């Protein structure tokens, strides 16, 4: 749930609604937590390969938030973070494939595809210098609620795994992909008009 809060704050920063250095502090807090906690959980786990595989995914978020926090706080060049995001996007696609092929879990598959897309956008922004911060902010805003905050709340109430919630979440995910497609077309049309009149 707190990971959702961090992504929510990052989306507000990208949309120009929150101060970068203020948001950086929360990124560092959540990043540190998501590096320390999985180390502990792995240490006390049954050490099976699938347990470690599942818990290790938390590090992807932890190091991303730490990297974002330090980059913002110290005004660092973001190219390293951008290329790291590309690497994580590839790993996220692998997690999506495994979720679908090995676990037959369509919800996890869609979630990992969404996260892969967001990390890829960070690569385009920071690794390739594309001016798409507002677009990323909109995608991150949707994902902060759809893939993190609400699933966490529903898990804590014990209804996340119910059939009705699972079905609804799949429809909401499809709607999110349609929305991402819509704002992508708007961005491309806006860029085309800008180039035409430049």
Return the domain boundaries, the chain: 2-197
pLDDT the model gives residue 99: 97
Q: Model pTM greater than 0.85? A: yes
pLDDT the model gives residue 194: 59
- Alpha-carbon gap, residue 157 to 104, rounded angstroms: 24
Architecture of domain 2-197: Alpha Horseshoe (1.25)
For the chain, which ranges sit under pLDDT 50? Answer: none
């Amino acid at each position: 749930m707190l990971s959702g809060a961090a992504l929510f704050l990052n989306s507000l920063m990208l949309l120009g609604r929150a101060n970068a250095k203020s948001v950086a502090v929360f990124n560092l807090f959540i990043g540190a937590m998501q590096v320390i906690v999985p180390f502990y959980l792995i240490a006390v786990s049954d050490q099976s390969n699938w347990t470690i595989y599942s818990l290790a995914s938390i590090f992807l978020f932890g190091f991303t938030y730490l990297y974002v926090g330090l980059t913002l706080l110290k005004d660092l060049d973001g190219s390293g973070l951008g290329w790291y995001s590309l690497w994580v996007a590839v790993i996220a696609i692998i997690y999506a494939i495994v979720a679908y092929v090995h676990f037959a879990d369509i919800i996890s598959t869609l979630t990992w595809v969404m996260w892969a897309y967001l990390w890829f956008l960070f690569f385009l922004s920071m690794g390739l210098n594309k001016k798409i911060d507002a677009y990323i902010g909109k995608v991150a805003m949707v994902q902060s609620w759809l893939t993190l905050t609400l699933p966490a709340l529903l898990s804590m109430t014990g209804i996340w795994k119910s059939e009705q919630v699972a079905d609804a979440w799949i429809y909401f995910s499809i709607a999110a992909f349609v929305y991402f497609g819509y704002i992508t077309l708007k961005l491309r049309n806006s860029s085309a008009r800008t180039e035409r009149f430049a």
